[in-house]
Amino acid sequence: MKVYDNFNLTEYNSYRVSSKCKTAHFPDNEEDLVELYKSNKNYILIGSGHNIILSKDYYDANFIIFNGNYNDVKVDEKSNIISAESGATILKVSEVAEKHSLTGVEFFYDIPSSVGGAVVMNAGTKEGETKNILQKVRFLDLEDMLVKEKLNEELELEYRNSFFQKNKNKIILKVWFQLEAGNRKLIRKIMDESKDRRWARQPREFPNSGSVFKRPPGKFVGPMLDELGLKGYRVGGAEISKKHSGFIINIGNATGEDILLIIKHIREKVKNAFDVDLEVEQRII
């Protein structure tokens, strides 16, 4: 396990906000993680750095980071099950599945997220959701420091929500996905087409953390912001994307405060115009 003091988090959050933390721990395996939490339960845990907003320039706190570590992915070809450690990216899961001609996880391709983050948020697109392929999850329960497992039906998976979203003291360790045998060429075609659709409409050329808000019932965030003329609205180095107003982008040295001020402005405008309370999808740290 690697440990760093006064660690620069800029490359470990997808907004590329400049920030540092007191210490950063990069566990290599489950044993490392359990030992860390036995000594201290007050860590800030981040995965691939997507779907988060770093609100501070400096954190006098200890971080645990899954990024390039704790990321093993294995395939059981008899059962068509892929197991993945929490720090693996779902991109890697989709690529491993394609290599072994397994279908069901194509929608994961090019979605920026760690496996743990995907389960917490029940990540998905129009093509599918994590809950459709999730078999079970192994996790550390900080209440009693026991390692436990739960099956799909016990995980309360719904739109951008889960058992783990509601219980922050449960730390995901490993995940199993149930897939099916498929045609590799067709799987690749679906993956590429899915990626092309996202790149065509999302501002991938600028640092961002994906959709900022959850979709409110009966509404879509982007069209509401378009109607309000908010595309291009800027605070400091942060801006509501002109390409897709559901995204906030870093166009130059944006701070966490810049992003949060834009969010505040959006929520006030939408509330006044549509009487809709937008809920932030991204995790504010």
C-beta atoms surrounding 76 within 10 Å: 11
* Distance separating alpha carbons of residues 241 and 189, to the nearest angstrom: 29
* Distance separating alpha carbons of residues 251 and 234, to the nearest angstrom: 9
Give, rounded to a whole angstrom, the gap between the first and last alpha carbons of the chain: 24
Instruction: Look at the block and give the residue holding tokens 């440990």.
Output: 3
Question: Active-site residue numbers?
Answer: 160, 211, 281
HSE toward the beta carbon, residue 55, CA cutoff 13 A: 8
C-beta atoms surrounding 284 within 10 Å: 12
**Three-state secondary structure call for residue 138:** strand
Rounded CA Rg of the chain: 19
What contacts 185, CB < 8 A, 6 or more positions away?
none
Sign of CA dihedral 119, 124, 129, 134: negative
**Three-state secondary structure call for residue 109:** coil
